[in-house]
Amino acid sequence: MGVSPEFVDYVAKLAKLHLADDEKDAVASDLAGVLEFFAQLDRVDITDVPPTKHVVGLSNVERSDVKSPSLSTDKVLANTADTDEDHFVVPKVLPD
């Protein structure tokens, strides 16, 4: 399939990535090449074939319902750029 600059913008927005104008052409051409390669999968007959959910067949793995220690707040907050008491600080979400 062909990949237009608008389409690249749409996917980049979904992926939360900004692309510079000069990057967009390269990305469009890379994506087009790889998507053309992916198109070979259309040749496979998948009628009545279920999708793989787990390769070894494990399902519903449960643990005992008992409390166990988790990370302390200090450790959880240790790698962030900005904190306020026990919270992560991010730019304002809603406009003034």
The contact set with other proteins (CB under 8 A) reads 8, 11-12, 14-19, 27, 30-31, 33-35, 37-38, 40-44, 46, 49-56, 58, 61, 63, 71, 75-76, 78-82, 88, 90-93
Minimum distance between the CB of residue 4 and other proteins, rounded to whole angstroms? 13
Minimum distance between the CB of residue 3 and other proteins, rounded to whole angstroms? 9
What is the Cα–Cα distance from 28 to 34, expressed in whole angstroms? 10
- DSSP, residue by residue, 51-94: PPS-SS--------S-------HHHHHTT-S-EETTEE--S-SS
Minimum distance between the CB of residue 71 and other proteins, rounded to whole angstroms? 5
At CA 50, angle to CA 47 and CA 54, rounded to 5? 155
Q: Tell me how crowded residue 72 is: count the other CB atoms within 10 A of its CB.
A: 9
Minimum distance between the CB of residue 1 and other proteins, rounded to whole angstroms? 10
